Amino acid sequence: MLFVSFRVISLLHLLTALGALAILTLSLANILWLRSSSHKPVSTDRGKVSVLIPARNEEANIRRCLDSLLDQSYANFEIVVLDDCSEDRTWQIIAEYARRFPARLQAVKGAPLPHGWCGKTHAMQLLSRYASGDYLLFTDADTIHSPESLAWAVTNINDHDADFLSGYVHQDLQSFGEALIVPTTYIMSAIVMPFWLIPRSNSSMLTMAVGQMVMFRRSAFEAIGGYSSVAEQISEDVFVARAVKKAGFRTVFLDLQDHVSCRMYQGYRNSFEGIGKNIYDFFKNQPTFFASVASALVAFIVLPLILVPIEMHTGNPLLRLSVFSVLCFVVAWSLTLYDRGLKWWVPLLYPLTFVHLLYMAWKSFGRAAANVGIVWKGRVFK
């Protein structure tokens, strides 16, 4: 019986080590893709770009965003900013910009949120009605753009023959709480999604987007009915990318960090709530999916780290496999975060980061199971 148990445990150790090696391989492949696939921006006019910005309670950020977008090397563009029923001075600020730059920027008042819509999806659908461009570029109000960000987006959506483009922007982490939580957004490239397959596959599940900046060709946006196709989704970026691909269009996911930066959340609590809303959206009504993801996190990341000191103390001959698993993941995670331009010490937080991620996932799943919902920017989503 003991022999059989040891063989089973040995097999589990081996599977964990192979899984860790697969994670390392995927991470390296994604890093190579992100570094090699982004083409240098060319400012040649290839059509009008409508830059569309939903803004809710963004008085602290919107000026920096607009200033950066008004200073672009690409000449053929318009900016439309929608105040999504803000409770601060957002409207006054964007109205001031519209008066100063009437030929370039339009300020739009939002409408009350109708039943069946999330706030951001509704705001972006309203924005699209004011867009006259060949390309619709949606970007968040807390982003800052390089002078070549629009030229880069137009160049790359055309060079990759894509209908939808998104990618990783640079994440500006200014507190320990942000450094603990926000890097979990890179779990897709480290563990889950082979980015180089996205433009090569017709599967709608093989796609990725980050809502801080996405660009559509108008034809693709109109074909799916815009954001009405994902009206109730909190994680609208990923779901709208899937809708684009399901409709037969081509998507691509690239490296935007040289052209767009963002402080996504401010501090621990804001980061917890912000990432938590996306976890909630993915796990609601999907207990099997939740169990699978949680089990994978434990098996391939958390458990080997726990086993190493125990097996060192007991002299377990399987220690080498546990150490190999830990090293594979540490290298994969460190290279992923280094490639994203984060500070050198952020990868060292990975034990806390992933244990904390399990806690966040469990709490979000509990809210979904109890139909409690979440609160974000003063609105309750269920």
Asked if pLDDT for residue 59 goes beyond 50, the answer is: yes
Q: Are residues 247 and 322 in the same domain?
A: no
Instruction: Select from 81, 86, 140, 128 the least CA-distant residue to 106.
Output: 81
Predicted confidence band at 164 (pLDDT cuts at 50, 70, 90)? very high
Is 375 a member of any domain?
no
Domain presence at residue 198: yes
221 and 305: one domain? no
What is the total count of domains within the chain? 2
227, 91: one domain: yes
Give the span between the Cα atoms of 185 and 117, in whole angstroms.
24
Confidence band, pLDDT 50/70/90 cuts, at residue 373? low
| 264 and 313 both lie in a single domain | no
What is the DSSP secondary structure assignment for residue 184, as one 8-state letter? G
Mean pLDDT of 336-356: 92
Q: Give the pLDDT score at 187.
A: 83
Query: Cβ contacts of residue 11 below 8 Å, gap of 6+?
Result: none
Query: Which residue range(s) make up the domain with 99?
Result: 40-277
- Averaged pLDDT of the chain: 90
* Shared-domain flag, residues 109 and 184: yes
Q: Where are the alpha helices (DSSP H) in 210-339?
A: 218-223, 236-246, 267-283, 287-297, 303-314, 319-339
Q: How far apart are CA 84 and CA 108, in angstroms?
A: 9
* Residue-wise pLDDT tens digits, 339-348: 999 999 999 9
Give the pLDDT band (50/70/90) at residue 260.
Answer: very high
Q: What is the pLDDT of residue 9?
A: 77
Is residue 225 in a domain? yes
* pLDDT tens digits, one per residue of 175-214: 999 999 999 989 877 777 899 999 999 999 899 999 999 9
Q: Is 54:127 a contact under the CB 8 Å cutoff?
A: yes
210 found inside a domain: yes
216 and 131 in a common domain: yes
Q: Please tell me the predicted confidence (pLDDT) of residue 92.
A: 97
Are 144 and 262 in a shared domain? yes
pLDDT, position 381: 60
